[in-house]
Structure formats: C-alpha cells, structure tokens
C-alpha cells in the first residue's frame, strides 16, 4: 500500500523542519531534561544544535541591560563548568553541534550563517516572577527569527525521554495561536501522536448540559477547521471546549490526556524572558514541555480559516462571523 506521505502533493505537506536548534542551559536539572528533547528533535529533523548559556534573574530587573550583563557575568564560572561537562559527556556527538557556552565572542561569530534559528529549547530552571537572560547577540537572533521556544520546567519528570505520544494544543484563536496550530499538527504528524485541540471559554461552566453543549458548538467547529483534511487520515484527534481560567484548564487537560507536549500561541520575545500571566502559569507548572509560538499566521491563511469557520458555523444555523469575530445581524 502506498504511504500517505507519498500521496500528498508537495504544497499540501504539513511538515515543519527544525534545521537550527538553539539549546539554552543554566546547567540545572531542567537543562538535563531539556537536552534530551533538543537531541531527540535534532535526530528527528537532522538539525544542528547550538548550545549557549543562560541565567535567571528577577523579572522586574530583566529590562535593565546592565543588570542582565551582571547576571550573565556572575554565571560565567558555572557556564565554563557546564561547557566542560557537555563536551566530556559526549551527549552531543551524535548530532551536528557547536558549544558556545563560556566563549564571549562565540555567540556572535558562530551563530547560523543566516543568523536565524528554527527552534529554541530552554532548559532554564524557570519559575514564576523570573526572567531568562541570554547574551545580547543570541537575544537579537531569536527576535529576528521569531522562532518557537520549547521550555522545560522543574515540574517535568527527570525520566522524560523526548518522545511525543500525546500533544495538547490550546488556542484562543488569536493570530499567534492560529500559527501555533501548524506546529501542533506538524509535530503530531511527525511523531504519529494523539492530538487534542482545546479552547477555554473564560467564564463559569454552565450548569445545564444543553446550555454547555450549545455554547461549545461553535468553538468545536472552529477547532475542527484548524486541522487540514489530510491530517485526519493519520491523526487521532480530539476537540475539547472547557470553561474557566485558561491556565488551570490547560494544565488539567494536559494531565488528563497524559500530554507529552503543550503547544500555545504567545506574543513576542517576551514569552521567553517574562511571559504573560497564563503562559507563565502553564510554563511554570506543566509536567511536560511547553512549546510557545510567537509568529502570526499570514493574512491569506487567516482569511481562509475564518471563512471556513464561518461557513461551518452558519451551516449549523449560527450567527454570522465577520473578521474573526462573532457578529449578530
């Protein structure tokens, strides 16, 4: 039987590739777990890993350049020790890599020729009210790349192996989360993982089942339009609508689904250095890695999505959708 991948037209394939992977470490236990994910992804996509050092500091102080430099300088002895341990461990020998930790000029000289990354894997022992600090050249490369960031919190089990069997994608239908859906679908395809798509309605859960079902219907229809038809040939899908506080419901859904990865849309570079409230709570407390995507789905694709969402909802007798929002005629 011909493989599904061979039946797809090239322009229809969903695969997203990670050629240049930045691994940011503070040598914490979280970094050891994050390295497994960086290596697993590098093997899967034949990518190159660039290891750099990171530090943490109070989020309120992270906006001051001088404070950032002091934090990085204070962590330099640890960085040198970390670089030595990485080299001696041989963990990176199985993939193409460069260890830039502790080398003051390396982060400028040896970044990818394009100056861009496809993914950042952060093993920083991140907690709420903390910010991640990277060398200015690395920060600039990440900003320019607008690449997704995979964070591994202290809550992630030390036994995690980097494999993905269950992926949870949570969306508020913002342009960032629409873009994030492409990564969720692509990774679920790559790993042949179960994919759960979740939207949280920020209000108390209706007491009546009929009312709950009625309120959830349009959102489930919209979730369905985020998955290309071809993905339904190979992917085990579930569409879920919850009510309540987004971060709490996302974390609960991840636990219930035994998620190996949570995918979220998030705005800008700040999602790494000082994320928004909901993203912070998820990143800090998730028992699996969290992938945040800051890019925005291009305008034509957004229009196609909302046209499809509108048609699906209106076919159910719903109100009209215009410009990505519900509108009553």
Q: Per-residue DSSP letters for 66-92?
A: HHHHHHHHHTHHHHHHHHHHHHHHTGG
Q: Tens-digit pLDDT profile for the chain (329 aa)?
A: 344 444 444 334 567 899 999 998 888 888 889 999 999 999 999 999 999 888 777 766 666 677 778 878 887 888 888 888 888 888 889 899 998 886 554 445 567 766 689 999 987 765 666 777 788 788 888 888 888 999 888 888 777 788 899 999 999 988 888 899 999 999 998 999 999 999 999 887 777 777 888 888 888 888 988 888 887 777 789 999 999 999 999 999 999 999 999 999 887 555 555 556 788 889 888 999 999 998 777 777 777 776 777 777 666 655 454 444 543 33
Note whether 122 and 151 are within 8 A (CB).
yes
Q: Please give the Cα distance from 182 to 117 (Å, whole number).
A: 17
Domain span holding position 171: 166-326
Note whether 203 and 159 are within 8 A (CB).
no
Whole-prediction pTM value? 0.84
In a domain, 161, yes or no: no
In a domain, 257, yes or no: yes
Non-local (6+) Cβ contacts of 29 within 8 A are 125, 154, 158
In a domain, 1, yes or no: no
- Mark whether 177 and 316 lie in a shared domain: yes
In a domain, 12, yes or no: no
Q: What is the DSSP code string of 13-28? A: -------EEEEEE-SS
- Mark whether 147 and 170 lie in a shared domain: no
Beta pairing class for 194-201 and 149-151: unpaired
- 151, 183, 209: which is the final residue of a domain? 151
Q: Please give the Cα distance from 209 to 9 (Å, whole number).
A: 43
């Amino acid at each position: 039987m011909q493989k599904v991948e061979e039946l797809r037209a090239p322009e229809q394939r969903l695969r997203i590739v990670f050629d240049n992977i930045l691994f940011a470490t503070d040598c914490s236990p979280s970094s050891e777990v994050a390295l497994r994910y960086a290596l697993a992804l590098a093997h899967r996509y034949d990518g190159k890993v660039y290891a750099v050092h990171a530090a943490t500091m109070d989020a309120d102080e992270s906006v001051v350049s001088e404070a950032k430099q002091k934090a990085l300088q204070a962590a330099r002895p640890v960085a040198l020790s970390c670089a030595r341990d990485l080299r001696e461990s041989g963990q990176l020998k199985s993939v193409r890599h460069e260890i830039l930790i502790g080398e003051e000029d390396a982060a400028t000289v040896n970044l990818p020729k394009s100056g861009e990354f496809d993914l950042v894997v952060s093993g920083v022992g991140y907690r709420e009210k903390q910010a991640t600090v990277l060398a200015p050249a690395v920060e600039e490369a990440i900003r320019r790349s607008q690449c997704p960031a995979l964070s591994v919190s202290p809550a992630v089990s030390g036994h995690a192996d980097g494999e993905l069997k269950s992926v949870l994608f949570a969306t508020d239908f913002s342009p960032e989360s629409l873009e994030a859906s492409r990564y969720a679908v692509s990774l679920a395809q790559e790993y042949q993982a179960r994919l759960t798509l979740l939207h949280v309605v920020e209000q108390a859960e209706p007491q009546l089942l009929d009312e709950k079902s009625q309120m959830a219907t349009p959102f489930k229809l919209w979730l369905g339009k985020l998955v290309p038809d071809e993905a339904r040939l190979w992917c085990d899908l579930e569409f879920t609508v919850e009510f309540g506080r987004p971060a709490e419901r996302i974390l609960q859904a991840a636990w219930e689904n035994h998620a190996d990865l949570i995918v979220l849309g998030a705005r800008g570079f700040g999602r790494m250095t000082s994320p928004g409230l909901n993203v912070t709570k998820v990143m800090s407390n998730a028992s699996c890695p969290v992938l945040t995507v800051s890019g925005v789905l291009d305008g034509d694709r957004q229009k196609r999505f909302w046209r499809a969402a509108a048609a699906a909802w209106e076919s159910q007798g719903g109100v009209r959708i215009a410009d990505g929002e519900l509108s009553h005629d």
